[in-house]
Amino acid sequence: MCNIIYKTKEERTNHSMVYIKFEFYILLIILLIAYYSVPLKHRWYILLGASLGFYSIFSDHIVLLLFVSIISFVFGQVLYKKKSKLLLFVSILSVLLPLLITKHPTGLFGFMKWNNIIAPLGISFFTLQIIAYLVDIYREEILPQNNYLKYLLYVSFFPQIIQGPIPRYKQMGEQLIEGHRFDENNFVKGIHLIIWGFFLKLMIADKAAIVVNTVFDNYVNYSGFYILVAGILYSIQLYTDFQACVCITKGVAQLFSINIIDNFMHPYMSKSIKEFWQRWHISFSSWLRDYIYIPLGGNRKGKLYKYRNLIITFVISGMWHGNGIKYVLWGVLHAVYQIFGEILNPIKIKLYEMIKISKDSIMSKIFEIIITFYCVMIGWIIFRANGAVVGIKMIFSMFNTFNPWIFFDDSLLELGLCVKEWFVLISSILIGVIVSCLQQKTIIRDWILQQHLLLRWIIYIVAIIVIWVFGTYGFGFESKDFIYGGF
């Protein structure tokens, strides 16, 4: 038997909640004071100490993190001096092995039980980060970091280690170590992001989760529009949950004047699945593009190869998300969506011509956004269901039952939310949509900063009170883990 640490499922999944813990913010204040108190050139030591401290507290695998970082650091130095495909392969494999063992043990060793194993905190994220670092050195896109401690900070930076994003070394490496002066605007904008993250998490994601869990965990009792409602809400939950974590991560980093890349660009405003993947989990999808899809040949070798590469890339994407057929099926589904999207594109254009609608008209845009969202939602049902078969059954039961009366006879009130909570949830989603629309035209945080101090303070206080009162947390509502922290 393997000697990897065994823990319960609950113990495995409660790390990512730390970002919404009161204690985290107390420590953060202490850290900020320390960071801005030491001389500029030594400030990165504070970040390194905090990152290692953070990882030691919330994970039992600090040794593994150090081991992987040392191995990859050494390989980085060697790869820079000697370009060798074999060396690159060995370095990637040695970095990838802990991820494969801990996240996909059944695939590697049939005798290991998936339910008893604990994946090291953030392993899915820092592994991809390290692979990108090694490949970029091999491709001579970056120079290796010669100081191990500085490299370790890039691998372990505490705001992002739990659930990303997955920044490249050229985006983050220097930023982390150069030391930043206190910048009031950056600081306040960081706080804006943290407040918005809390709004998304506690006002939308965790409230929607109540309905989603009721339906998905008792799927045999629900069909038709129940599944549709749960599917839509899960799509919203997953996005707002992930976006909330990214906002908090970005916000915390910005308090130190460090900018972390955006991970979402209003994905549910996409007009095709291809566009969706350019807007969803951008750091991951661009990683897949740069380190899987393009090395496989991308679209350079004809359509058939392109489709094959798409399928391989999305299967890997599915497998990265978890151990189970449902994730592979979800990945394949997205590849198929893209292939069909491309094949059917000429038909779509002809159809628009026939019914005399411009493909740039608002109507066609809305239509395409709805269709894209619907397709994505079908995929999310498989993604969330307790297994691939269950997911398929749920999709079928969504289509073979017609029960529109559930919107009128209070049936929805039996899914865990009362009328007032539904009102808060729907209002919060609408606020999210409005903000999303506004963000495409202006930078809201800059607009807030331009307002009079009194108005700004009113906005902050109202936002905090609204979350304080109406958010889903506390006794009876133990806040949910950030979903992507589990991948």
Partner 1 sequence: MKHLRFVFKSFIFLIILTMCLYSVNKILIPKFTSENGWPTTTTFINFYEMEKNTIDVLFLGSSHIASSLIPQVMYDEHGITSYNLGSEQQNMAISYFWLKEALNYQQPKAVILDCYFLELVSMNPLNSEESFTRKSIDYMRWSPTKIEAINEICKLDTQQSKLSYYLPNIRFHSRWKNLEEQDFYSKTYLGSQEKLKGYKILDRRSKVEDYIPISENNSCKPVEMVELMAYYLDEIRQLCSEKNITLILISTPYKYEDAGMNKSISLYAKEYNIPFYSFNEENIYHEINYNFATDNAENSHANINGALKITNYMGKLLKDKYNIHSRFDKQWEDTKGIINGEDFTK
Binding site for partner 1 (CB under 8 A): 22, 182, 184, 187, 418, 420-421, 453, 457, 460-461, 464-465, 468-471, 473-477
Nearest CA among 165, 132, 432, 177 for reference residue 287 = 132
Nearer to partner 1, 162 or 424 (CB): 424
Q: Backbone phi, then psi, for 482, in 5-degree steps?
A: -65, 125
Which residues, 6 or more positions from 279, have their beta carbon under 8 angstroms from its beta carbon?
264, 265, 266, 267, 269, 270
Q: Which of 203, 249, 193 is nearest to 467 (CA)?
A: 203
307 vs 477 by CB, closer to partner 1: 477
> In angstroms, what is the minimal distance from the CB of 442 to partner 1?
25
Of 399 and 468, which has the nearer Cβ to partner 1?
468
Q: Which residue number, 374 or 457, has a Cβ lying nearer to partner 1? A: 457
Closest approach of Cβ 254 to partner 1, in Å? Answer: 15
Q: For partner 1, which is the closer residue by CB, 420 or 441?
A: 420
In whole angstroms, the minimum distance from the beta carbon of 355 to partner 1 comes to 48
* Separation CA 127–CA 129 (nearest Å): 5
Assigned token pair, 338: 């893209």
Please state the φ and ψ torsions of residue 183, each to the nearest 5 degrees: -125, 115
CB of residue 8 vs partner 1: minimum separation in angstroms? 17
Nearer to partner 1, 90 or 462 (CB): 462
| Least spacing, CB of residue 20 vs partner 1, in Å | 12
Give the shortest CB-253-to-partner 1 separation in angstroms. Answer: 19
Which of 19/470 has CB closer to partner 1? 470
In whole angstroms, how close is the CB of 420 to partner 1 at the nearest point? 5
Q: Measured from the CB atom, is 86 or 453 closer to partner 1?
A: 453
Q: Tokens for 133, please give them.
A: 């670092």
Angle, helices 225-255/22-37, rounded to nearest 10 degrees: 30
Structure tokens at 14: 């409660």
How near is the Cβ of 475 to partner 1 at its closest, in Å?
Answer: 5
135 CB neighbour count, 10 Å cutoff: 20
The neighbouring-strand residues paired with 117 are 6
CA pair distance 118, 463, nearest whole angstrom: 37
Rounded Cα distance, 374 and 268, in Å: 10
Provide, rounded to whole angstroms, the least separation between the CB of residue 463 and partner 1.
11
3-state SS string over 287-305?
HHHHHHHCCCCCCCCCHHH
| Long-range CB pairs of 101-104, under 8 A, 24+ apart, other chains included | 101/2, 101/4, 102/4, 103/322, 103/323, 104/319, 104/323
Phi, psi of 117 (to 5 degrees): -105, 145
Residue with tokens 């985006």: 171
By C-beta, is 22 or 408 nearer to partner 1?
22
User: What is the number of other CB atoms lying within 10 angstroms of the CB of residue 22?
Assistant: 6
Q: Which residue, 22 or 111, is less far from partner 1 as judged by CB?
A: 22
The dihedral through the CA atoms of 233, 237, 239, 244 has a sign that is: positive
Tell me the closest approach of the beta carbon of residue 200 to partner 1, in angstroms: 18
Query: Which three-class secondary structure state does DSSP give residue 6?
Result: strand
Q: Which residues, in sequence order, are bridge partners of residue 6?
A: 117
As measured in angstroms, the least distance from the Cβ of 161 to partner 1 is: 25
Q: What CA–CA distances, in Å, run from 393 to 190, 202, 384?
A: 43, 30, 13
Tell the smallest beta-carbon distance from residue 56 to partner 1 (Å): 23
Query: Of the two residues 343 and 464, which places its CB atom closer to partner 1 in the complex?
Result: 464
Calculate the CA 313 to chain-centre distance: 18
Residue 25 falls in which region: left (phi positive, over 0), alpha (psi -120 to 50) or beta = alpha
Q: Are 162 and 135 in contact (CB under 8 A)?
A: no
| Nearer CB in complex with partner 1: 32/282 | 32
